[in-house]
Amino acid sequence: MTKISTETYDLRVALVTGGSVGIGRAIVKKLADKGFAVAVHYAGNKTNADATVEEIIKQDGKAISIGGDVADEKVMQEAFDVVEEKLGGIDVVVNTAGIMLLSPIAELNMADLDKMHRTNIRGTFVISQQAARRVRKGGAIINFSTSVTRTQFPTYGAYVASKAAVESMTMVLARELRGKDITVNAVAPGPTATPLFLDGKDEQTIDNLSKATPLERLGTPEDIADTVAYLATAGRWINGQVIFSNGGLA
């Protein structure tokens, strides 16, 4: 029987990629509320990341900001080094960093496919690889997919292809970490009111998506953060799964 880790640390530490805005920022704040020291990663928005860190510190929490391209393995190796040095280790890695470029498959600019491949697939692989090497016993690795892998909305083909790859690598990694006492899961949000999701959508489209779930509303970043926080703390028996946090979207 696999032993459950009994090791304890002075402070549990979480690294959240894409943590300066949207769902990532909500996750950062939720984990800070749960007592984690948090590393807030950003790709380009240092101002937002630093503001989030300042807010956490004002509430007697512990946080740092750290930038870099998630698809650059050398930069991310250095980022993980900094988190370990400044915060003492890493217990949870949440990889929300991603981009979404929509187009019918027949009309897609292949440069857009390459951009999504680099961030969503390569970036997730780089972060997962570092996390698999660094996360301490009793920890969690949480990647991000999308409920559109099941709903098959038009224009999402290339984006969904990248996220289906995320789901697959997540399932494999969960099994590769057998005996390490580290859980690996993916969260697949449904329609969620973030700038990334709302960009380019008219009011009618947003209203229709709001009514698509039995709860008849869009999700909020805080809804998704609650799911992540559970996986990062109490959800130790959930492993190798895709969790559809979508309000019942079919």
Residues 119-146: tens digit of each pLDDT: 999 999 999 999 999 999 999 999 999 9
Q: Let me know: does 176 contact 165? Beta carbons within 8 Å.
A: no
Give residue 200's pLDDT. Answer: 74
Name the catalytic one among 9, 42, 156, 159: 159
pLDDT at residue number 4: 36
On whether residue 7 sits in a domain, the answer given is: no
Question: Residue 92's beta-bridge partner residues?
Answer: 14, 140
- CA quadruple 58, 227, 189, 163: dihedral sign: positive
Regions of the chain where pLDDT drops below 70: 1-9
Give pLDDT, residue 9: 60
**Residue 200 DSSP code:** T
Residue 2 lies in a domain: no
Residue 164, helix vs strand vs coil: helix
Q: Which residue segment(s) compose the domain that 152 sits in?
A: 13-243
Of 201, 168, 204, the closest CA to residue 186 belongs to: 168
In a domain, 202, yes or no: yes
**What integer pLDDT is reported at residue 207 of this predicted model?**
86
End-to-end CA distance of the chain: 38
Q: Is residue 6 part of a domain?
A: no
The CATH number for 159's domain is: 3.40.50.720
pTM: 0.93
Domain assignment present for 250: no
Does 4 fall in a domain?
A: no
Does 194 map to a domain? yes
Beta-carbon contacts of residue 249 (< 8 Å; ≥ 6 apart): 147, 151, 190, 191, 212, 213
Nearest residue to 14 (alpha-carbon basis) of 70, 94, 98: 94
pLDDT at 2: 32
In a domain, 3, yes or no: no
Residue 176, C-beta contacts closer than 8 angstroms, at least 6 positions apart: 132
Number of domains making up the chain: 1
Sheet holding 140-144, edge to edge: 63-67, 37-42, 13-17, 92-95, 140-144, 183-189, 242-245
Q: Is residue 230 annotated as a catalytic residue, yes or no?
A: no
